């Protein structure tokens, strides 16, 4: 493990540079992984409302019955 001491601006710049080095497909997959991880955070006052918005739902394949 490596520990770095940086200012917030330096850290943000480094993260942006590393992200921009990725190809378009890698950026998309990175975004989708981040979106999936956010779904595990607890949310206060969550109301499940029906919406007319387009929703991307990522389902785990761990428990899915594939091929059936």
5 within domain boundaries? yes
Domain that holds residue 23: 1-58
Considering the entire predicted model, what is its pTM? 0.47
Q: How many domains does the chain have?
A: 1
**Chain segment 14-46, per-residue pLDDT in tens:** 999 999 999 999 999 999 998 899 888 877 766
23 within domain boundaries? yes
Can you say whether residue 67 is alpha, beta or left, with left for phi > 0 and alpha for psi between -120 and 50 degrees?
A: left
């Amino acid at each position: 493990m490596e520990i770095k001491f940086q200012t917030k601006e330096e850290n943000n710049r480094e993260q942006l540079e590393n992200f921009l080095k990725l190809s378009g497909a890698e950026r998309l997959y990175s975004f989708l992984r981040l979106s999936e991880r956010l779904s595990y955070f607890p949310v206060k006052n969550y109301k499940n409302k029906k919406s007319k918005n387009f929703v991307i739902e990522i389902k785990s394949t761990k428990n899915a019955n594939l091929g059936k």
